[in-house]
Structure 1
């Protein structure tokens, strides 16, 4: 009985509260660079993917804070092992997150997930959560996802929904409490918050699993797909409670008929799809899924 209760408590601790008072933009950025400052690039890259001249261009910019985007962008068009693997990726992660997370041409989040960031040291995960939370607050309450960069065309419909989804999914992968995050979006309201809640509601998977994994030595690769599947179910349950609870979808549609005709049309057109994707877990099912999520997280990080 004691062991069962301990497992339940561990499952309940796997998610972090949504901190709506993160450090200011400059402080978030500084903490991010500090958290990853001990990583160094590994050289002598794959010559099939990178010519010696291309590698030399990158070598000339050892300071990740000032590396131009066009210098490191080619790294994300090839497998990470071709440019030194995890160490190289993590050395430039702060700069690349700033420049590329919201760049739909690079799909940086997909590449980030291959390294299973939910397994990283607490300091690194915390720095990422602060940056992403600060960016999400700026994005959903204004038009500024700083410290992340964004191209102007990605701030407008329909492309803006990609930006919103990326921020929300990145926070979920870093174990921000799904119900708290979706509830905050529902309370915040506005075009972007409503759009992303609807978009995620009719997607089959809220979080798309990566095509491959690039894990630290000793990590159990078999646990990672199960982590993503169970995290998706926990997130789907939380989103269903927000979208369907209190007839919220119907009330949103009534409001949108006058205030946002495009949103009202989307709700109507996708209703059968998002209703079919609703998932309500029982308390015991939530604990079971949470335990699977927890099994992929190193001890000491739950």
Structure 2
């Protein structure tokens, strides 16, 4: 412990406060820095992390600035006389049933597909972290009630629950599809946070903060959650790909997004009817969808290995 920590600890003892407060917080901060420092060293050498990050950066730029990749072609400008053309120099991915440039459509489809994946994960984290933290920290009857509440939702599969919810929805937009996925997809995040909080809440630095009279909010936000989020970050990374695939599945079944929205799932849905005569209408969006999901899985696997307590 350095001189500043020693002086602070002595001051705490003189004031009648627990002498291990500063030491506990110092150990906590050093532990966090060591964990993430070691993780970053591992990730920089991980081929999964490098490839996954590169693919996701390209997809992110594609989603934010689709016009940079679409060669200036408007995906909604169509000509029925060019319907279902095969890939060519003029139309790299061919044209769809309406005669629209399919390459531009697939490029623009990245925006909505990624948006739904990210929005769904944000919603899942908000609900899962909040309920999991409260259940794990307070325990007792609070934990029992929240755990049983979570079990009710666990009994409903993600796609089935979202399908039922969207069936009774008048308009199926990016927001409503994301909301349906969040409503039946937050439970795993809750359990991960709950387990982590239970294992951390009796740590020395948490007990020291409690002895000082720190509020529950401060203890959770400052001391517990930063140390409990590693497994949730891994889960969230992989879940982005899962939710993108779920949206595509729902749309393929005719329950997800509706025209004139542009998404990979909707393109696959519209292309299935002419697959035998125009297979490119399914293959190209399916390929982009697969690469996106694979990139998130690779990134999640790399994070899991980097944050593995046994390795660290």
TM-score (norm 1): 0.29
**Rg: which structure is higher?**
2
Judging by fraction of residues, say which structure has more helix. 2
TM-score (norm 2): 0.28
